[in-house]
Structure 1
Amino acid sequence: MSSLTQTASTFFPSTTLNITLRNCNMVKFGFDFFEGLDSVQYLDMSSNHLTAAYVGSSIMSSCSNNFCAVEILNLTNNSISTFPTVVFNVDNLQEL
């Protein structure tokens, strides 16, 4: 899998709490992927080929999408060189 082009709600129930996309050879990830999910708290995208914290759609300037429910975001073992400061405005984010 090199990129996700569908939203998670097409294959995850809206009550999903944890998503692990570790070591999937992803190079792109748009945070609009969470559209339709209400309660994802843990997201692991470690050990991929991501070079930015988001590609395609921006995360958001305010918590207007479901990414704001994320408490733990694991992006270790990627090649991220740019990180939007808006990520630090996600109220529920406890661990990055």
Structure 2
Amino acid sequence: METVYQMMATTLSEHFGVPEDHIHPDATFEELDVDSLARAEMLAVVEGRLKVTLDQEPGGLTLGEAAARIERLLAGGTGGAATAAAPPPGTGPASLPGPLL
């Protein structure tokens, strides 16, 4: 089974032309020259592939940190789907602080 990180790395390479040898868990989107529009497109790909709704713009996290946050979000969801849309504070696993990607 493909991990969230592997899916993100494949998407960055295939959809956004990021050279595979530049992609590693400690790289940030900024270091990979992935601009805000491409990050928004990346969110759409992640949402479609993982059946999850992410409402936060990718930030300064590394790819590894972003993948770990998404995996935690998925693990706390029900039926394999999770929502990061603004629930009341502290009411569930979707209330993660900070950017998801």
User: Normalising by structure 1, what TM-score?
Assistant: 0.28
Which of the two has greater strand per residue? 1
Larger radius of gyration: 2
Structure (1 or 2) with the greater helix fraction: 2
With structure 2 as the length reference, what TM-score do the two structures score? 0.28
